[in-house]
Amino acid sequence: MTTALITGGNRGLGRATALALAGAGLDVVVTYRVHAEEARDVVDRIEALGRRAAALPLDVGDPSTFPAFRSALRAHLPDGRLDVLVNNAGSALYRGLDAVTEPEVDRVVAEHLKGPLFLTQVIADLLADGARVVNVSSALTRITLAGSGPYASAKAAVEALTRYQALELAPRGITVNVVAPGAVPTDFGDGHLREDPQLQEAVTQSTALGRLATPGDVADAITGLVTASGSWVTGQRIEASGGLRL
């Protein structure tokens, strides 16, 4: 196993996953939509670990750009093959069902469903036989929180997609799974959890392990899944939430 691609790898969970995979001995390509300087910092940190790294621009909400991205990605695969794909990129949407707009729903569906579907399709020929694919979902597909319905629905759709990807890619020995993080205080959603002490306390009180997650907690779950779980786990949903609302 040599090379991994993490979409949205410039910050948050994607950044932590990129660094964790590099620490596990993989070369890493990260994508970013904006904040190229953050992506460059991730590349520098990976290279400091002795691994190859690259950062490529990508808007996962615009599948029309995926063929050009495939060509750019191919140039950064020394053996022409990709061993790990983590479909992580996407933005938040906190809006009640009575107020959400069609353009907002179109955006989250494009980023969180169409992005993983069509990106995986377009680069499927670059995936090595026996590769590992992880789609990132959310604990909000299991628990309900007012104002999260459209976002959670898009994530529920990618969980269904994962099972079909696992089935259709299985003849090549490719596994496809979902990792569903719980609440993590990052920049996601404009840092709504990170900036709200009362919400942090509520999450902590509802979490069996009794603390807030770190990006590294989720990154470790993804890294373990793709490097140490073997080839017999596929089509599964793994929640990395510390036991949120058990």
Read out DSSP for 73-107?
A: HHTT-TTS-EEEEEE---------TTT--HHHHHH
Give every CB contact of residue 182 below 8 A, 6+ residues apart in sequence.
139, 203, 207, 213, 239, 240, 241, 242, 244
Instruction: Yes or no: say if 213 and 155 are a contact pair by the CB < 8 Å rule.
Output: no
CB atoms within 10 A of CB 63: 17
Q: Is 151 in the active site?
A: yes
Instruction: Yes or no: say if 165 and 113 are a contact pair by the CB < 8 Å rule.
Output: no
Instruction: Find the catalytic residue in 32, 94, 151, 164.
Output: 151
**Which positions are annotated as active-site residues?**
151
